[in-house]
Amino acid sequence: MNKMTVKDVEVRGKRVLVRVDFNVPLDEKSGAITDDNRIRASLPTIKYLIGQGAKVILMSHLGRPKGKVVDELRLAVVAQRLSGILGQSVGVATDCIGAEVEELVASLRSGDVLLLENLRFHPEEETGDASFAQALARLGDIFVNDAFGAAHRAHASISVITSYLPSVAGFLLEKEIENLGNILENPARPFASLLGGAKISDKISMLENIMGKVDFVLIGGGMAATFLKAKSCETGLSLIETEMLDTAARLTERAEKERTCLLLPVDVVVADELSNDAKVEVVPVEKIPKDKRIVDMGPQTISHFSKELRNCKTIFWNGPVGIYEIPQFARGTQEIATLLANLGVNTVIGGGSTAEVVNEMGLADKMSFVSTGGGASLEFLGGEKLPGVEALPDKAS
Ligand code: 3PG
Ligand code: MG
């Protein structure tokens, strides 16, 4: 990555304002953090800054409070978790800008860590408001962007603040760009992309960009239904993106022309309802009943996909291949995750729900790289420029 990083600036004794992505999943009922990997992923930068004697001021969003204070989305729970992991106290501010926060920042000593309140409690964060960015900038001497998961947002704390402070990348941002960039530019072959999740529309630019670069595209999950429908299969009650049918047909044709092997399920698990008590059956894709919906890949598909994946040297996986949240429909996703974890090749896992699956199954350490970015990793692999990265200065040549 040719961007300036924390290593390129002197931080000792300075107020270093770090944008992190602490947008962690919370338990709906208890509000407890269910996966703290995004917090852990920021530790290299945070620990480095503490070790260098900086005053560390962290800022993040959590959820989508839409410009209002939502008590359930306060960052205190994150500060508490970070403090436990770091083994040192982490202060929490009651807001992210203003006189009170400025006073709190002025009282920091070298090595202290302070977490500002949820940036998205202010509507100006998402509109990319310049005065809001300036108010944030008053809290620091240097800005570090380590929020890869939010780098695709042109928000005040991400791409606007860089106009007001010397700005550099953190270690997580650097690692993400290097790992994801490497599979785009220099993948060991054969290279497969395994895609699942509900919708094609979320992944379309990524699919278009990666199609000419991969040897295999394997499609599972809800999005497989639209591909099957485009091939005139009966898909029963499965969710179909009708506006994507032409796109699916065009991508199928393009794959043939470019000799990219595009694989769809040959059998699927179907159910009459989306519950763990649903009655399920396995059917070939030509025989999906009109009154059922696809909920997972079938065993033949799993073995067919596994056979191809075993020969690959680089695999990018994004999106569960079945309705993973319902245990009865999680088998395909679990088998794929277990397979990838044991292949010993370059396995790169997209963020969001795919990362959550891999973390929940305790397999993250066995993958080559698990991205912390859901939308951000898709946009990056879609060849789009990420505002958060673009806004950082290049390394001096
Ligand atoms: C994410 O979880 O995708 C990032 O934190 C960005 O959040 P957003 O999709 O609400 O902008
Ligand atoms: Mg998102």
**Nearest atom (ligand 1) to Cα of 376:** 3
Looking at 352, 373, 374, 388, which residue is catalytic? 352
Collapsing DSSP to helix, strand or coil, 204 comes out as helix
What are the pLDDT digits (tens) for 195-219?
A: 999 889 889 889 999 998 999 999 9
Short-list 258, 5, 40, 31, CA closest to 144: 5
Q: What is the per-residue pLDDT across 225-261, written as a single tens digit (0 to 9) for each?
A: 999 999 999 999 999 999 999 999 999 999 999 999 9
Determine which of 64-68, 203-207, 263-267, 372-376 has the lowest per-residue pLDDT on average.
203-207
pTM of the model: 0.94
d(CA 102, CA 336): 49
What's the rounded mean pLDDT across residues 116-123? Answer: 98
**In whole angstroms, what is the distance from residue 272 CA to residue 31 CA?**
32
CA of residue 24 to ligand 1 center, whole Å: 9
Ligand 2 center to 188 CA (angstroms): 29
Q: In this predicted structure, what is the pLDDT of residue 309? A: 98
- Tell me whether strands 314-318 and 191-195 are parallel, antiparallel or unpaired: parallel
* Token pair recorded at residue 252: 């199928």
pLDDT digits (tens, 9 = 90+) for 318-354: 999 999 999 999 999 999 999 999 999 999 999 889 9
pLDDT over 90 (residue 13): yes
Tens of pLDDT, residues 42-100: 999 999 999 999 999 999 999 999 999 999 999 999 999 999 999 999 999 999 999 99
280-328 pLDDT per residue, tens: 999 999 999 999 999 999 999 999 999 999 999 999 999 999 999 999 9
Tokens of 153: 């947002």
At 397, the pLDDT band (50, 70, 90 cuts) reads: low
DSSP 289-358: -TT-EEEEE-HHHHHHHHHHHHT-SEEEEES-SS-TTSGGG-HHHHHHHHHHHTS-SEEEE-STHHHHHH
Mutate to test the pocket of ligand 1, among 33, 42, 127, 153 (most ligand atoms within 8 A of CB): 153
Mutate which of 19, 60, 61 for ligand 1? The one with the most ligand atoms within 8 Å of its CB, which is 61
38 as an active site residue: the answer is yes
Helix axes 245-257, 223-230, angle to 10 degrees: 80
With pLDDT > 90 as the criterion, what percentage of the chain qualifies?
A: 95
pLDDT of residue 351: 85
Q: In degrees rounded to 5, what are phi and psi of residue 74?
A: -70, 155
> What is the number of the ligand 1 atom nearest to the C-alpha of 153?
11
